[in-house]
Amino acid sequence: MRDVAIIGASQTKFGELWDVSFRQLITEAGLGAIDDSNVEGADLDAMYVGNMTAGLFIQQEHIAALIADHTGLNPIPCARIEAACASGSLALRQGIMAVASGYHDIVISAGVEKMTDVVDATPAIATASDQEWEAQQGATFPSLYAMIAKRHMYEHGTTREQLAKFSVINHKNAAKNPKAQFPFEITVDQVLNSSIVADPLTLLDCSPVTDGAAAIILCPAEDAKKYTDTPIYVKASTQASDTITLHDRKDITTIGSTKVAAKKAYEMANLTTKDIDTVEVHDCFSINGILAIEDLGFVEKGQGGIAVEEGITENGGEIPVNPSGGLKARGHPLGATGIAQAAEIVWQLRGDAGKRQVEGAEIGMTHNIGGTGGTAAVHILSR
Ligand code: COA
C-alpha cells in the first residue's frame, strides 16, 4: 500500500444559491481544487463524487456521467458514492484507497448537493432513515435527534444551555469563514428563544438546508512535492456501520459506528486524542456535536455538555471543534459535507485558515456520519 497525500482543496460558497445550478457548483469546486493543486485536468485518473439524493432534490440520476461530461473530464472514470450525509467522506475514502492500492495515481474526490430547489427538503432527507420503521411512522431527522437529546439530558444531566452553546461556538467560528452559510454570531438566548423544531431542539440547534460543493485532489505521498510545497498526508481513513434504526440500539446516546471508526483511525495513525490539534465533527444538530466529542474520545461519555460549557471546544481551547463553523453554521449540503470538512482541515494544517486559524495545528481529524450514524467515517490528516 502507498501513502497518500492531499495536494489540492476547494469549496464553493455554501448557502441558498438560487442562481447557481448543480453542475455549476461541482464544476466550480473541481476547477478550484485542480487550480489549488497545480495538476492539469488531463492528469486526473479518476473521480469519486459524494451525493446523497440528486434524484429527489433535482430529479437527476446518473450524476457521475453528467459531472464527468460537464466538467470536461471525459473519458475518465467517475463514480457516485452514496451514504446519506456521509457520502462525501466515503468519496474521499474511495479516492484514498484507489491511490493507496496503486490502481490510480491522481484522483479527485468531491461532493455536491443542491437542496434548495425543492419546496420541502424534509422528506428527501428522511430517506436516510429507515423508511418502514422511522420515516413512514412520521419520524424526521430533527425528531430522531430530539429523542437522542432528551435521553442524553435525562441520563447525563446535559442542559438545554449546553446544547445551545455548541451552536453559539459554531456561529462564532463561521463569522470568520467567508464561505459559510451563516457567517454571523448568535447568543445562547437566541438559540433558546428561536422557534421549536422538535422539542428540545430549536431552529438554531439545527444545521440548515444548503447548496454547495467541495473537492480534494489526492496523489501518492512520494509524488506530492512535485505539485505543492505543503502536502497534507493521510494518516488514517476508516469507516464503520451501526443499525440504521435508533430503536435497535442498546444506547441511543452513543453512536457505535463513530466509536469503532475512531478507534480504528487512532490505531491506523498510531496516535491518540491528545495528538489531534483540531477536529471537524458532524453536528447536524447541536446534540450530535456533543455525542461526537464523546464518541471520538475527546471527553468521557456524558461529559460533552460540560466540556462545551467550559469552552474546551472553542478555538484556543483544549480541542478546537469545527473551526469552519461546522454543519450548523458553515452549512450542510449533505453529499459535500465530508469533503468540506477535509478541505477545512487541509487549510488549517497548511496555516491558510485566515482569521479562524487554529494556532500551530499539525494534526487534524474529520468525523462524518450518515443518518443517525448507520454509517460513520473518520479521517486523520497531518502536515
Ligand atoms: N439555522 C439558522 N437559520 C436558519 C436555519 C438554521 N438551521 N434554517 C433556516 N434558517 C433561517 C433562514 O435563513 C430564514 O431566514 P430569513 O427569514 O432571514 O431568510 C429563516 O430561518 C426561515 O427559513 P426556512 O427555510 O423557512 O426555515 P424552515 O423552517 O423551512 O427550516 C429547519 C428550518 C431547521 C426545519 C431546516 O433548516 C432543517 O430541516 N434543518 C435540518 C436539516 C437536516 O435534517 N439535515 C440532515 C441532518 S441528518
The domain limits of the chain are: 4-119+210-232, 122-206+235-382
Q: What is the pLDDT of residue 7?
A: 98
Residues 6+ apart with CB under 8 A from 70: 23, 26, 27
Q: Could you read off the pLDDT of 206-234 as tens digits, one per residue?
A: 999 999 999 999 999 999 999 999 999 99
Cα dihedral 111→116→117→123 (10° resolution): 90
> Among positive and negative, which fits the CA dihedral 7, 89, 382, 356?
positive
Omega within 30 of 0 (cis) for the link into 200:
yes
Q: Are 211 and 14 in contact (CB under 8 A)?
A: yes
Ligand 1 nearest-atom number relative to CA 182: 2
**Would the CB of 125 count as within 6 Å of ligand 1?**
yes
Topology match between the domains 4-119+210-232 and 122-206+235-382: yes
> How many C-beta atoms lie closer than 10 Å to residue 85's C-beta?
29
Nearest ligand 1 atom to alpha carbon 128: 48
The 10 Å CB-count burial string (b at 16+, else e) for 352-370 is ebeebbbeebebbbbbbbb
Q: Enumerate residues 6+ apart whose C-beta is below 8 A from 19.
A: none
Catalytic member of 78, 85, 206, 219: 85
d(CA 383, CA 369) in angstroms, rounded, equals 24
For the CA of 204, the closest atom of ligand 1 is 1
- Label the pairing between strands 196-198 and 201-202: antiparallel
Q: Looking at the structure, give the CATH architecture of the domain made up of residues 122-206+235-382.
A: 3-Layer(aba) Sandwich (3.40)
Q: For residues 296 and 256, what is the distance between their CA atoms, to the nearest angstrom?
A: 10
> Regarding the domain delimited by 4-119+210-232, which CATH topology (the fold level of the hierarchy) does it fall under?
Peroxisomal Thiolase; Chain A, domain 1 (3.40.47)
What pTM was estimated for this model as a whole?
0.98
For the chain, 383 residues long, the average pLDDT of each consecutive 10-residue run is 98 97 98 96 97 98 97 96 98 98 98 96 97 97 98 98 98 98 98 98 98 98 98 98 97 98 98 98 98 98 98 97 98 98 98 98 98 98 98
Q: What is the pLDDT of residue 272?
A: 98
Q: Which of 171, 282, 332, 367 is catalytic?
A: 332
- Best residue for ligand 1 mutational test, from 209, 372, 375 (most atoms within 8 Å of Cβ): 209
> Is 197 close to ligand 1, i.e. is its CB under 6 Å away?
yes
51 and 80 Cβ atoms separated by less than 8 Å: yes
Predicted pLDDT of residue 89 = 99
Residues whose CB is less than 8 angstroms from the CB of residue 74 and which lie 6 or more positions away in sequence, other chains included: 68
Residue 59's pLDDT is 97
CA separation for the pair 189, 202 (Å, rounded): 11
How many CB atoms neighbour CB 230 within 10 A?
14
Task: Please work out whether the CB of residue 358 comes within 6 Å of at least one atom of ligand 1.
Answer: no
Which residues neighbour 69 within 8 Å (Cβ) at sequence distance 6 or greater? Answer: none
Percentage, residues of the chain above pLDDT 70: 100
Q: Are 278 and 380 in contact (CB under 8 A)?
A: no
Helix (H, G, I), strand (E, B) or coil at 170: helix
**CA-CA distance, 155 to 265, in Å (whole number)?**
28
Alpha helix stretches (DSSP H) within 244-312: 256-269, 286-295, 304-309
Please indicate whether residue 148, judged by its CB atom, sits closer than 6 Å to ligand 1. no
DSSP, res 333: -
For 4, phi and psi rounded to 5 degrees?
-125, 145
Is 284 one of the annotated active-site residues of the chain?
A: no
pLDDT at 140: 97
Closest CA to 342 of 208, 216, 175, 177: 216
Cis peptide before 123 (omega within 30 of 0): no
pLDDT of residue 227: 97
